[in-house]
Structure 1
């Protein structure tokens, strides 16, 4: 028996040694297909022109069918898992091999059954290519188990077509990859806590020769992650050094997950220097005298699993050279890579604000939108966890904020989890007899967030739903929670925002300053002190509302006017005390610039005009550049700053938008029309020739 299924004594056909192409071996198997299948699957049965069994393991059943006739006998399909292929891939599946990477061994197994002696090697490259002598090997690497016993060798051959690698399974005494595939340098791994994972034996050995503990999976980045035995890396601190290319980075993330799953102490992917050439690796680095120790400390990294604090990792090398710039999610507030609080009293509209912010970050690239008094400066993936609003309410709000359904253009960038529909809120922190502790649920969420490459914003709304401990009274809980979230922000580089409630001041008097607003944020002082930035929103007092309405000729509607400001920041911030008014869809609009009476800059007017034209088109009420449907005639539908503007000035602003490279506004057409005149965003329905004027639009 071979691997429990091939009995060579049943193969009647014997031949003198000869060199056969792989296609001939496949054809000969097809000629004796029923005998071959019966030898592989003793529990299988013939049914008409099919051979059936339960699965590739040979269990009883009929989920897997193999065709015995037709244009290509041996085609198979497993209806249970959807897998299938030809007789070669079926042989590989039974053997536990990869039909592509392990092709030589698969063909050899088929040749063995036919009785072709091992001295007659079949074609190794493809069905079409005959076997060719590769000449003398130019490199050899030995794989040992943790006790130092030789288990496999890998030989390298330099051919006219490039590098070729041939594995030798010592136990099986065959040219094949062991199953499972071992890791390189297991005796060294056993003796070390810190291990480098690189691509290929050459890079690993170069590091080993220079005093580092390094390993590689057999076949480098081409190695099937699921067929590699990663268990020697259990309880190790693993640093993954990918080759400088896309394939290397993709493999690094796949391997990192597998290493995390087997219980590594920590897993970190280090980023190769951007200036290095493609495919640059550890062997190249050592050859050019690269300072690995310095790079290991200072380079950008993706932390898949953290092992906690190691003091020696934080020496002065971390702080050499020019300090990195501080980047913001929103200009002047909400820094990237840190935790911020958005605090507000009830019925302020903070839910609509966070959804608007999420939409602009995830879907608004190309538009210079403003939220919370500043321009959006980052675009990428957003994850919002909302514990109070269900799916229906979130959907209704998104429909109001995004009537043009731009969120569907990049659906994977906007992830909104309405927890009432997803099993309820999960706790981040819980009380234990030993103090606050991180929950298993939050750890699982963090691992998923760490896998998102372009994560820019994570929102938890409201904070109280995610803490099963007294965050309002216990300083230890506040400190633990903010430290936990700060670690998430640092490892992902995203802005982490927690939405929190404010209480009314003890005097019951309205809040009229940023200092009073900060004091009104619920929780112990440790909560606010533990975040880098806090932004507060509160109802405007009556006298301020009257002044605003008088100045701007507005109606003083109840629960419509609010003030907001950055009330705590550990760095530079825009601390302007702003005034907001709730609009018709429930979103707070910033009135601050209008109240100051200053003339907006040309840049600001272009931002507001492009946004207004985009929204008009999304609602099916688009405008044109000139004429009866032009921006001047329809200026009552634009923001107030454009109402008194002369015709030539307003139309010139539109022309500036049309002339931009790339443009924020283009001319589009109605559906079934060829006339380019309706102003729209480059991604809108009118721009793509699918625009429809909705009923009720006052257009001609």
Structure 2
């Protein structure tokens, strides 16, 4: 009988230290890294740090290497003796410099001494910068006379030095892609190939060490060509790129003819092919077919979303309607019957697609500043009614020019009837229908999509929206996801119920919206419209010098917004075609109600504090002294009126005084729960102190 040697002594290794030694990544007691000689693609080695395992490690290889040899390599890199199965280790005490710890180590200063000591030399530095050109991290390439090239990464420490590692990945050469939104983008396997294509005038990118970022908006709606290396790893990476960009960009995977095993696009160009040959090859390539409409929930890790990934200056809010309706959010226009909301929304679509004159009156409380493709799906109007309305809105025939291709209006009664986009299935519960998925595929294929409207929501959501909060939340979540995938503002038209007493404030209007509160709470922006009561309507008509008639005057305003938005009541008057025209500016008694001004002031104070530039009540940073930062409806107020509103807001608890970190005096204004209010506010550069 064979006699086996005694089991080795336990060796306690630190996963983070093992990862650093082999150039890998640790998560818990697992380490992944490239096998010796491999520096591309996904990691080929999985290491489990386990004190009870022989020599403290279990090693698995996925690229054909001998696991015992790879384990020896890992141990050598960690400063440990080689592993020999069944033989007791010479080391009788656990290694002290690699003790097992469970807490995360602090950031380490960057060092490449371990590579230089092996004879490597630094060859190239590749900067990964954000859209503003700020370097987020660097990838350094090292070469050796006899060993395979290798790469390490570092990131600025903010003090002129560098820390080891890179943090969250981003795309390479983002500034170039952001500056040119028209040309196609080439995805290659390494920075060298991306730089080579860029030198020929192409837009090119890659990902660091094969790690795709979650943030891919720079490629949203773009034409993308994937150029893989000619080997099994290249095929795998090409497939991964197509999967990551599915639903984000139109992707073609290009096989470069004549490549030898393991060659890449740089080798192809070195062989005598030029930029024209590459363009011709890509022009004839078919895009990867669309998905099969099966819903999918992409996996994510909460650990990928630590706040240190949000680097650089926060992006500014983009608007569809200036200061009122944000771009790329899910929203709603709610109105009482016969107010003319559908006609007003059609005019909004016309201005988005055809452009808007600077002299045009506001629509939905502001100027339309975003232009692009708009899609309106209506179940209430047939082809004839849509034709009549478009003709009245477009007397000069702009729809017969190229701009007409950018405005799409689908009259469902003339296109086969309204279809359910959301319904309840006996087996699967609340679902998105196949009709909705097909529509989503078409919307996601449109370049420059800015606005989508479903009018009215009840025709497309065959669900108990008025009784079941889960139904409202389901529809809102579905619309929100489509908004994220298209980048467009997506609006639903909905109804308001009539109240026994006239609506006086925007809060009253919000309460009048039909359905459970989940329907409004689940959207980021809601606009309400309702007929003015008769006495107010008559005063408006008298002031404007026009004849009064029932339904002539309509009021509207933003009743829900997740960010800054003008919360004032707008006055609309119907013109001869029935279109609502904003006449607020022409009314001498157009000041918003006191409650709306208080809401607007609280929102402005909260937004300023969140941006790191809080107001004080008076003084150099006071509300009146800094009124250019206030919404338009507050800028025109006197100092005494602004001070009175601020006093009221403080007395009602809508606004609080707060002390900045390290200060004793509570002089800064914030909203309850804001960052300054809870003692965590930070000042931006240039903000008053």
Please tell me whether Structure 1 or Structure 2 has the larger radius of gyration of its CA atoms: 1
TM-score category of the 2 structures, normalised to the smaller one: 0.3 to 0.5
